[in-house]
Amino acid sequence: MRRAAAFVAAAVALLPAGLPARDAVAQIEIAGGVTPLRVCMEANSPPFSVDRRAEGEGFDLAITRAVAEALSRPLTIVWFRSEEDEESSLKGDVQALLGGDLCDLVGGYLLDHGTLKAPTDSMRPLPEIVAIADGPGGTKRAVLEVPEIVRLTDGPRKPLVPPAAIDHSRAYRFAPLAVMTGPALGVYEISSLDALDGKRIGVEEGTLADTILMLYRQRKLVDSIIHYVPHGGLIADLAAGNLDFAMMELHRFDTYRRRQKKAEIHPTGYLHPVGFNFGFVARAEDRDLLDAVDQALDRILAGEAPARFAAEAEMTYVPPRAPDIQPAISLGYLLRGD
């Protein structure tokens, strides 16, 4: 299969300028009897998708493999790196990857009104392709030269492509905000943010968690809140006993506990209802593929596989919440939960 894929990429690079690359790839793959499901995934997004070993790891990658198996399609993972700066965004990178026909699906995508909007740019640069992996064992091959669909570039090795309008699958996981404790309180279960009153509450300033805590019950918790700059050591302070509680995205606590095996960080059992679902996206015209993915996800999520995948990724799995696209964030939405 690797030889066939290399042949496809080489052939596309030699296509006449007027022949759509996607149609040519499909013709070559059908002729060679190879129709891999090509899925683009972020290369450094623990605990969801990480290009750390030959086979890769993470919860989203495990779900992707299960979907490919359910569809009876060989799997090719295209690992990419999205640079979060003023001129780049994950949404724009995903629209470019799909518009440039680098993949059929993109996994681990946040399903939100904003992230699913139609492209506003006529052209987008492709993000960095880190590696390509084929087969059940994730055998890596050298990154092949990306075919330039148009003869425009945005610096070295950054072809410009027309971004694609995208559509989404059903959601397969939910990312909530969580409240955790450290050794100062030990195991301490709560059912309401009221339990934080009078305690030392750590939160990163300017975040969604910060807004929720600051507004809670007419600013009831304000005097208890200790602000940190983003990624400024909040979790480490919680683990050291310098805080009683901390609130942020659940997966960040999971990632810290995975790296610091002896860290005494404990779940309180409280997950705020405000959060985001994640799923797959594809080109809007590929609705048939997304429908097939939805059927596969229905079967996968109904079984024990998600719990097993989460245990392997050392993360806390929270099932998706209806609807797939959560309500737009508003003041009333932020004040949900207690």
Domain ranges of the chain: 2-168
- Report the predicted TM-score, pTM, of the whole model to 2 decimal places: 0.84
Residue 287: pLDDT over 70: yes
Residue 300: pLDDT over 70: yes
Listed in order, strand segments (DSSP E) in 112-252 are 124-125, 128-134, 139-141, 160-161, 166-168, 173-181, 201-204, 225-228, 245-249
Backbone angles phi, psi at 108, to 5 degrees: 65, 40
What confidence score (pLDDT) does residue 134 get?
85
What confidence score (pLDDT) does residue 130 get?
87
Question: Considering the chain, what percentage of its residues have pLDDT values greater than 90?
Answer: 71
What confidence score (pLDDT) does residue 35 get?
85
Domain 2-168 fold is: D-Maltodextrin-Binding Protein; domain 2 (3.40.190)
Mean pLDDT of 98-120: 96
- Average pLDDT score, the chain: 85
Note the pLDDT tens digit of each residue in 19-59: 344 443 443 344 345 489 999 999 999 999 999 766 799 99
What confidence score (pLDDT) does residue 3 get?
34
Sign of CA dihedral 139, 140, 145, 146: positive
Percentages of the chain per state (helix, strand, coil), in multiples of 5: 30, 25, 45
